[in-house]
Structure 1
Amino acid sequence: MTKITIAIDGFSSTGKSTVAKQLAKHLGYVYVDTGAMYRAVTFYAMQKKLISTKAFDVASLIKQLPNIRVHFVFNEDVGFAEVYLNDLNVETEIRSLDVSSFVSKVAAISEVRQKLVEQQQKLGAEKGVVMDGRDIGTVVFPDAELKLFMTASAETRAKRRYDELLERGDRVAYEAVLKNVQERDYIDSNREDSPLMKADDAIEIDNSNMSLKEQFDKILHLVNITLTNVK
């Protein structure tokens, strides 16, 4: 049976991970949340006090990269693979607003990107993978058979993220979440190494006014067309 690589890029809180998980489960593909990998490295830097609102010890983080191992372990109870940092499940910890406030700065470090891109390419070497992030279609898998670029207004994305954090029990203000979304957009789009951009052959999906079902059905239709064309 033909398998393809599906690369999903886009801005933060556009639902990339949600639809990627749905597709992977439906197709029986491997799902890789590359954003979670950068969040795990960021969490490591925070735990080691290498990054804060006042300083970022980039040199020390680079030196410690060989000590950082990020991998995924499938959890049958939740139905998807959770993120592990050096054998510790950090799936919940890496989703905090504190981690979100630093992750774009960590992801801008070339040495960090090189380490994680190598891991990502190994995970998708056999195809049959759905991978989401910021540079999957442009850097990690430029030859992916299907590339999607997810977008929505900053306000829409901030509201989604705000509701998600409240549901988790986090005490946050909408204004703080919106500011974080806008700052991440700027850093992700303007970094020197692998900036966030739409690949020339990517299909743009603006899901500002789409339900989760409408989004999934539209993307699954694109997947089926792609599978037909590569046979």
Structure 2
Amino acid sequence: MGRRGRVVLEGRDTGTVVFPDADVKFFLDARLEVRARRRFEQERARSREISFEETLRETEERDRRDAERSASPLRQAEDAVYLDSSDLSVEQVVEHMLEIIRQRLSAEAPANREGEARTSG
């Protein structure tokens, strides 16, 4: 998977462990309180009885575990674009990501064509 291109994957270690050579990588983040609020709303939509305070604690604990684990701790890949989504809608995040992808891929296209021309003759 991913060898033929045009694949979108998400995960906490996708850009550092699973696909470290991906053409475009993002490190999507948001303030702790915003992430907890989003999770809280997801849980309420699933009819889970949980308080915001408990969700905040769970989110904070997960952050700590992810950062401190010995196997592939959570970190931003050096070549990943950092994107803080705290004050953005899902649609705004996607549009911003698409713009960056378009820019990166269009910048690489001429170099790829030159390489193809050299290897095909």
TM-score bracket for the superposition, by shorter chain length: 0.7 to 0.9
- Work out which of the residue numbers 78, 85, 97 in structure 2 matches 1:207: 85
Equivalent residue, structure 1, for 2:69: 191
In 2, the alpha carbon distance for the partners of 1:125 and 1:184 equals 32
In 2, the alpha carbon distance for the partners of 1:142 and 1:208 equals 26
In 2, the alpha carbon distance for the partners of 1:207 and 1:192 equals 27
Equivalent residue, structure 1, for 2:44: 166
RMSD between superposed Cα atoms in Å: 1.1
In 1, the alpha carbon distance for the partners of 2:36 and 2:15 equals 24
Please identify which structure carries the higher strand content. Answer: 1
Equivalent residue, structure 2, for 1:157: 35
Map 1:28-177 → 2, pairs under 5 A: 123-177=1-55
Work out which of the two has the higher radius of gyration on C-alpha atoms and give 1 or 2. 2
| C-alpha displacement of 1:149 | 0.3
- Work out which of the residue numbers 85, 92, 108 in structure 2 matches 1:230: 108
In 1, the alpha carbon distance for the partners of 2:68 and 2:95 equals 32
Which 4+ residue blocks in structure 1 deviate beyond 4 angstroms? none
What TM-score do you get using the length of structure 2 for normalisation? 0.84
Letter of the structure 2 residue corresponding to residue 173 of structure 1: S
| C-alpha displacement of 1:169 | 1.5
How many residues of Structure 1 are paired with residues of Structure 2 in the alignment? Answer: 109
What is the SS of the residue equivalent to 1:146? coil
- Work out which of the residue numbers 160, 170, 180 in structure 1 matches 2:58: 180
Runs (5+) with no aligned partner, structure 2: 110-121
What is the SS of the residue equivalent to 2:106? helix
| C-alpha displacement of 1:217 | 1.2
